[in-house]
Structure 1
C-alpha cells in the first residue's frame, strides 16, 4: 500500500472497527438493518444466455471490429460485456453506466468511447449491475467484481491474458458517481470487492453525491414559494403541480420552454442553484429538456426510493438568489419551505460500503471530469461541490475539470470524451498534468467564452442524433465558440 494512502485508510479502518465494536451506540452483535432495496430481488439480465455481443460498426477508420474478443455473461446476478482487441496493450478500462430506472430488466451499456479504446489497444468491461434504482453501492461492487474477474473470464473463453498493468474507470451520470466513489479511500477500506484504480474520468457525474437530492428539493420549494403555494406540504407535490406549472411557465416541458413574469424570477433562482451565471443555461432550459426530469421527481421522499431507510434531503444549506433583487431574494428565503434530513441517514456501515457511497475527495490518482453547462438534471454545480471537497482534502493537484458547451445532460461529443480520457492516460503515464477549467470563480464561469477550451463540435460516427441536433441549435443561436 503506498505511503500516501496508509494514514487516511488506517484512520478510516479504525473508525469502522469502532463501529463494529459498538462505537456510536451500535451493538457488536446487532445486524445492520435492511432497507426496501434489499428486498427487491426480481432483477434479471435482458438476455441471461448471451455469450457475445455485436461488433462495433465499421466506420471507414483504422479500427477492425473483427479482431476483438467479445464476451458476455452473468456474474453475481449482473450481466456483463468484455471486449479485448487482438493487440491488447495490457490496460483495462471499466465503464459504469448511468441510472437505468426502477424496472426489473438489467442491461449492459457499451462505453461511448468504445472505438477510441479499441483503436488504442485497451480492453474494456461493463456491468449491468445486479440491481436497478439509484444503487451506487451495488454499481461500485459489481463493477469492481467484474474487474477482478477479468482474467478468469478471458481464460474461460479460451484466451489467456496477463493481469492488467493498469485499471482505469469512467462513467456517465450515476456512473460518474460510481466512478468517483470507486476511487475513494473509503471504498478501498469498506468495499467487499476492492480495486485500486490508476485513473478516472467521471462524466456528467453526480459528484456532489447526496447533495443532488438537496438540489431537487431546493428547486421544488422555491418553485412553490414563487408560485404562492410555499406552505403546501412538501410531499403533496401532485396536488399543486399544475398550479405551479401554470404560474411559472407559458410552455413546459415542450421546447421551447417559456416563462411567465414569475417564472423569470424562478429562472434566476434555478440558474444560481445549478452553478451560477454561465453560457448555455438559457438554452439548456429552453431546449435541453433536462429540467423536465427534475420537475418529474418533485415530491419524492428523501430515502431515494428505498435506497435509504431515513430521509436525508436537507435544504438548509441553500440561500436562494434572484438576480438584482435583494428584497425579493430575502422574501423568497423567508417563504420557502425548509426541508430537514436526518444526519445519520447515510452513515458508515459495518457490512461494506455505505448505502450511497460518497465522493469526499480522498484520492491520489489522476482524475479528469467533464460536465456540460446546460445540464439541469445533474447540474454544473456538482463540479463546484466536488472541487471544493477535493481542495478541502488537499488533493486538488489530482483533479482536472473541463466545462463543455452542451445543452443537456451528458451532451458530449465522442471527441470531447476521447480527448478527456486520453488526457488522463497521458497524465498517469507521463506525470504531466493536463489543462482544465476553473469551475468555482463566478466571474470566470460567467464569461461568454467559458467552456470553449475543451468543446469539440466535430460529429463522428458514434455520436447520437440528439447531440448533433443540439450542437446545431447552439450554432444557430450564435453560441458557438469563435474558432468553431
Structure 2
C-alpha cells in the first residue's frame, strides 16, 4: 500500500520545505530567542475588546452561571458553569479560529455549548489578546483563562473547587491552538501552564507551519500555470484577476462551483497532490469559494503578516505535478518545475523562546492524552494533508496510540453537523474517562483515502453535491 505522505511530491514538499524550512518537526529547531531582537510588526499593533459585546444569552429553560470580563492581558472571556449541584467538576476550554486583521477582539461561544452544559461540563472561551494568526497568544491566553477559572467564579460570588479535569477543543486556527496546547514542548515552555486531559481539534492546522508552505505553493503554482510568474518573493507580480482569466471559464464562488479551463485542471492536479491526494469532495473544495480565500494570500511575504521577523516559507525541492500522477514526471512537468521561482525558508524564523511558547507554537506530534480530530475531506483552506502530517509526526514520536482521526465528507472549511461534533467529543471523553479507545479513519493509505466511500463511517449527513454513502458503510 502507498502512503500518501510519501508520494514523490509530498516527500519533497515535507522533507525539502517543511522539516528544513519551517523547523516544525519534533525537536528540529532548538534555537532560543532571548528576546533581544527587533520588534515584530505584530508587537506594534493595538487591539481592544468592547466589554458590552461579551454578554451572551441564557440557554432557554436551563439555569447556569454566566460570567464575562476582560483579563489583565487584555483578552475578553466568557465562562459558563452549570447550576449548583449540576456541575460535574470538569471544564472544557474552547479555542476560536482566525479572526482576521482588525483591532477589535471578540469571543465566540462553542457550538456545543448547550451540549456541554447538559452533560454537566463548565466551559470557557477567550477572545485572545490579539488578532492575526497569533497562535502564541491563543495558547497562552486560553491557558491563562483556564488558570483563572476559580478566581473568576469567586469574583462573581460562587465558590468552586479547581476543575478535576480540563479538556480543550477548537476550530481551524483554534485547532492549531488545541493541538499545540497538549504538546510536550508547550507543556515545558508555556508561560501559562495547563495540563489538559484530552483534546478535540476540528478542521485544525494540526500540521503546524506546513500551512504557510501550502499557501505559498498553491499561489506560486497558480501564477506559473497561468504563465504569469512568479518572478520574485514576495510575488509582487501576483494578479488574481489576470490569473483567473486563464484558469477558469467560470470563476469559483461560495454561490456556485467554478468551471476550470485546461490550465485550471493542471492547477487542480497540483493542489490535489499537495493537499492530501485523491479523496472524495476534493474537487468540490477546489472549485468552491475557498479558492478565492486561498488565492487572497498570494503576494504575501513569509512572516505570516508580521507574526515573525523572518521568512518561514519555502518551496525548495517541491515538485509540482500537473497530470495527477505523482509517481512519474512528464517533459512538461520537468520544464514547469525547472522554471519555477524558488524560495528558501529561514530555518531560524520560528525559534524557541524563553518567555513562553514560540511565536507559532509547534505541533510535533508529542503528546500523551487522548486526541480525537475531525477534518473535512475537501477543505481547501486547511487541507486534509494536515491530518496526514499529524499522524506521521505522532508515529515518529511514539504518540500515535493517543491519536484517533475522523474524516468528514464535506468540502467547506469547518463544515460539521452537530452530531459529528458530539460524536467526536463523546468519543474522546469515553476514551479519557473509561479507557474505551474509539474508532477512527486511516488517513495515510492512498487507496483507502481515495475510495469513493471514504469518510462515510463518521459522516452523519449527506452534503449537497456529495454522493450519498451506502447504508452498509455508515
Give 3-state SS (helix, strand or coil) of 1:451's partner.
coil
Contact 1:371–1:403, Cα closer than 8 Å, also in 2: yes
Shift of 1:332: 2.6
Residue number in structure 2 paired with 1:90: 89
Contact 1:32–1:350, Cα closer than 8 Å, also in 2: no
Residue number in structure 2 paired with 1:480: 468
Unaligned segments of structure 2, at least 5 residues: 1-26
Please say if 1:299 is aligned against 2:299: yes
Shift of 1:411: 0.7
Residue number in structure 2 paired with 1:143: 142
Please say if 1:246 is aligned against 2:245: yes
Q: For the structure 1 residues 266 and 283, does the alpha-carbon distance in structure 2 shift closer, same or farther, using more than 3 Å as the test?
A: same
Q: Under a length normalisation based on structure 1, what TM-score does the superposition of the two structures give?
A: 0.86
Q: Under a length normalisation based on structure 2, what TM-score does the superposition of the two structures give?
A: 0.88
Separation of aligned partners in 2, 1:301 and 1:263? 25
Separation of aligned partners in 2, 1:25 and 1:423? 38
Separation of aligned partners in 2, 1:165 and 1:343? 40
Residue number in structure 1 paired with 2:372: 368
Shift of 1:241: 2.6
Give 3-state SS (helix, strand or coil) of 2:91's partner.
strand
Residue number in structure 1 paired with 2:23: none
Shift of 1:187: 1.0
Please say if 1:345 is aligned against 2:318: no
Residue number in structure 2 paired with 1:130: 129
More helix by share: 1
Please say if 1:35 is aligned against 2:32: no
2:65 is aligned, of 49, 56, 69, to 69
Residue number in structure 2 paired with 1:357: 361
Separation of aligned partners in 2, 1:429 and 1:225? 52
Residue number in structure 2 paired with 1:270: 271
Unaligned segments of structure 1, at least 5 residues: 1-14, 59-63, 458-470
Give 3-state SS (helix, strand or coil) of 1:424's partner.
helix
Shift of 1:349: 1.2
Q: For the structure 1 residues 51 and 294, does the alpha-carbon distance in structure 2 shift closer, same or farther, using more than 3 Å as the test?
A: closer
Residue number in structure 2 paired with 1:223: 222
Shift of 1:239: 4.8
Shift of 1:482: 1.7
Aligned residues: 435
Separation of aligned partners in 1, 2:356 and 2:213? 25
Greater relative contact order (CA < 8 Å, ≥ 6 in sequence): 2
Give 3-state SS (helix, strand or coil) of 1:473's partner.
coil
Q: For the structure 1 residues 50 and 279, does the alpha-carbon distance in structure 2 shift closer, same or farther, using more than 3 Å as the test?
A: closer
In the TM superposition, 1:19-418 aligns within 5 A as 31-41=36-46, 43-46=47-50, 48-49=51-52, 52-56=55-59, 58=60, 64-65=61-62, 67-75=63-71, 76-86=73-83, 87-237=86-236, 239-254=238-253, 255-287=256-288, 289-321=289-321, 322-324=323-325, 326-327=329-330, 328-418=332-422
Q: For the structure 1 residues 25 and 98, does the alpha-carbon distance in structure 2 shift closer, same or farther, using more than 3 Å as the test?
A: closer
